[in-house]
Chain A
Amino acid sequence: MKTPLAWRNLAHNKARTAVAVAGVAFAVVLIFMQLGFRGAVVSTATLIYDALEFDVLIRSVEYLHFADPRSFPRSRLHVAASTPGVAHVAPFYAQTNQWRNPQNGSRRGLLVMGVSVGQKAFRLPELRRQIEKLTSPEFVLIDRKSRREFGPAQGEQFSDADLGVETNVGEARVRVVGHFALGAGLAADGALVTSDEGFVRLTPGQSVEWVSLGLVRVQPGANHEHVAREIDNLLPVDVEVMTRREAAERETRHWLRGTPIGLIFQMGVGISLIVGVAIVYQVLSSDVTAHLGEYATLKAMGYTDQKLARVVISQSLCLAILGFGPGLLAARVLYEVTSYYANIPIAMTWPRVAGVLLMTIAMCAASGVAALRKVWVADPAELF
């Protein structure tokens, strides 16, 4: 067995190593948080789509994002319904509106969704049951995952205690008749579901003949893409038709590319990596400088630059592994905390863990390579 010089050096200078490990852990936490936020954007972007029951989506060409979908004539849905392979088409209405906090009267924007009561627009069984309660246009269901600023009776989140509470959405009076768990994501802090008539009532200038989305179910065994193309061919250019996967992809892309959010988090990852490289380089290069005479002696003895490179690189990889563990642990805790307080889902996924581990290793290796130059210029002739 070779003498584990890299490891010995780290173990010997514990203070220096602790600084490096803390630096790596810090960078790891930063990277995880940035990726977590970015991941939250991705998962919340499609959160509502994931909850909706459809195979093919019809939407206006002016569609921006879920909370601002624009609208198109309901008659387009009749055409779609008659397309071969289509089993069912349901209209869906969505728009942001102002909710008045029943506790203190403050106003806050939330997402209002309207569904035809008889049709299964949502996948969630809880929501489906609740929708049956929407027997009157002023009845609404409130999302329990709405922020507490919307004024739940018990302070934290909406519950049975809020049933029967009356407040205003826009100018109209509404009554809470049920609640459900969804989470509206980035576009809105809260969400409510009402009937199509209720939606029109809350949205001045709206009519049930102008829908936000068309939710198409295809017949079992039918090819979704094929059906989507068929519908698209039949409909005028004021709407676009896409499969479920495409809709989700485009929604994600909108948030990551169409807004600065994605860029901000990507920059965040990049800057975290640079911070990590700077810290690890600083520690490694001062370690190498402190041992320059020793390294030069090894060179004189016949150690090649490659062999010495292996020592420094192993040292940097040790730091990567040592720093990654605590970083992962801290990030895990911060994910929980952030999820709880920001009400956005941030989950630690295995691909992300693997990705950050690779980034950490690359970061430390890069620092190691930078520190190596010092070893390479170490001239054993200077030792005499």
Chain B
Amino acid sequence: MSQTVSLPATSSRLALTDVKTPNIQSRGLNFYFGDGELRKQVLFDNNLDVMPGEIVIMTGPSGSGKTTLLTLIGGLRTAKEGSLKVLKQEMVGASAQQLVRLRRQMGFIFQAHNLFESLTAFQNVKMALELFDFSQQEMRTRITETLTRLGLGHRIHYKPDSLSGGQRQRVAIARGLVHKPKLILADEPTAALDEKSGREVVTIFQELAREEGCTILIVTHDNRILDVADRIVNMVDGRIKSNVYVQESAKVCEFLQKCDFLRDLTPRTLVEVADKMFREDFSSGDTIIRQGDPGDKFYLIRKGSVEIEATRNGETKIVAVLGEGDFFGEMALLTDAPRNATVRAKEQTVLYALGKADFLSVIEQSPTFEQELRKSIFERQ
């Protein structure tokens, strides 16, 4: 049976069952600035799942709403419409106290370091720990460890005015990390850093994500650090234009490239195709398409296998069994004819589906596409 999942196929790591609850889960999230006549919608139907341990890079032009989304996730603004769960707390309708409590489980790294000039690096970082009941000894150990890890072991008792810009930013990062938050929200964390320091910082992010299961959300224009992202979210005009789990996207592109008729597409177009695919889950024995029905989707088998059963001249037989990486359903879309066979899941199967309209627009982009497709169909018969 088909399960309705509105998230794009490449928006998450492939998992047959939900093993973990996401650290961030938004559904139909809308946000408005202002009231009454002046009310202006800045976020439209944002759906986003971010799992523990994921590093997300958010991009988009300024005014695209990515910062607003970040402040909603960070509990710095109150979400009012839709649903937004952060660290299991529903943010829509949450009280100010709940938000404050939640923020203590997060680490904030702002573009400006915002360090108290009057406090040493150690004391500035300590401000983050004083919200919790740590012993003096534990605080000292943690602060020293964190600062040392950020290459500031020799500057622990320096005040900001005797530190360089990069060092100050690293103190601010230490302040955001020292309490081992479950969620880190960072705004251009590497903007003030040279390449080497920037690399050190994102390496620490990766370690935190891997070792502590920390979710890290970074708003950045620094393409030097794109490689650390597990997921890249692109926002335009308040909408999540694309939300790509990079590894999964790569995998899907790899599969798509195996299709003869898609082989000639550029990687960029392939990624776009992958982005437009939606995940559908089927159990063993579920009918995916039925012979005679109008064709509406193109399918890629991400996991599992299907059997194709055709009835010709009153005789029904299984004509093929397809497995991971194979695709089907393109013929009915191309010829505008009814389905010429029935496809049934042989086991627990995950399919990535592409709608007819999207499928056809992809074809238009590739002059050789139709030709290739026809050839491929011909060869199959």
Q: What is A's interface to B at a CB cutoff of 8 Å?
A: 1-3, 5, 8-9, 11-13, 291, 293-294, 296-298, 300-304, 379-381, 383-384
Contacts and interface: CB of A to CB of B under 8 A. Distances in A.
Contacts of B119: 3, 5, 8
Nearest to A2: B130
B136 A1 contact: yes
Contacts of B114: 293-294, 296-297, 383
Contacts of A300: 74, 76, 103, 108, 110
27 contacts: A3-B126, A3-B127, A5-B118, A5-B127, A8-B118, A8-B119, A11-B118, A293-B114, A294-B114, A294-B115, A300-B110, A301-B103, A301-B104, A301-B128, A301-B131, A301-B175, A302-B100, A302-B101, A304-B100, A379-B76, A380-B108, A381-B76, A383-B108, A383-B111, A384-B67, A384-B187, A384-B219
Contact of B118 (A1, A2, A9, A293): A9
B110 A384 contact: yes
B171 to A, nearest CB: 12
B290 interface: no
A12 B118 contact: yes
B117 interface: yes
B115 A3 contact: no
A302 B105 CA distance: 9
B123 A3 contact: yes
Given A1-B136, A293-B114, A383-B112, 20 more contacts: A3-B123, A3-B127, A5-B116, A5-B118, A5-B127, A9-B118, A12-B117, A297-B110, A300-B103, A300-B108, A300-B110, A301-B103, A303-B131, A380-B108, A381-B76, A381-B77, A383-B108, A383-B187, A384-B110, A384-B111
Nearest to A13: B118
Contacts of B118: 5, 8-9, 11-13
B334 interface: no
Contacts of A13: 118
B116 A291 contact: yes
A20 to B, nearest CB: 15
B70 interface: yes
B71 interface: yes
3 closest Cβ contacts across the A-B interface?
A12-B118, A302-B104, A8-B118
Nearest to A302: B104
A380 B126 CA distance: 19
Contacts of B71: 381, 384
Contacts of B103: 300-302
Which interface class (under 10, 10 to 19, 20 to 34, 35 or more) fits B?
20 to 34
B359 to A, nearest CB: 39
B212 to A, nearest CB: 18
A357 to B, nearest CB: 27
A210 to B, nearest CB: 75
Interface string B169-195: 000000100000000000100000000
A325 to B, nearest CB: 22
A293 B112 CA distance: 8
Contacts of A302: 100-101, 103-104, 131
Contacts of B70: 384
Interface string B84-110: 000000000000000011011000101
A133 to B, nearest CB: 72
B219 to A, nearest CB: 7
Contacts of A11: 118
Contact of A8 (B108, B111, B123, B130): B123
B116 A380 contact: no
A297 B123 contact: no
A383 B110 contact: yes
Contacts of A5: 116, 118-119, 127
Contacts of A379: 76
Contacts of A12: 117-118
Contacts of A296: 114
A3 B130 contact: yes
A213 B131 CA distance: 72
B108 A301 contact: yes
B120 to A, nearest CB: 9
A118 to B, nearest CB: 76
A13 B161 CA distance: 13
Interface string B123-137: 100111011000010
Contacts of B130: 2-3
Contacts of A3: 119, 123, 126-127, 130
Q: Which of B110, B187, B219 has the most CB of A within 10 A?
A: B110
Contacts of A291: 116
Contacts of A294: 114-116
A291 B108 CA distance: 17
Contacts of A383: 108, 110-112, 114, 187
A383 B109 CA distance: 10
A191 to B, nearest CB: 60
Nearest to B117: A12
B137 to A, nearest CB: 12
Contacts of A304: 100
A298 to B, nearest CB: 7
A13 to B, nearest CB: 7
B98 to A, nearest CB: 11
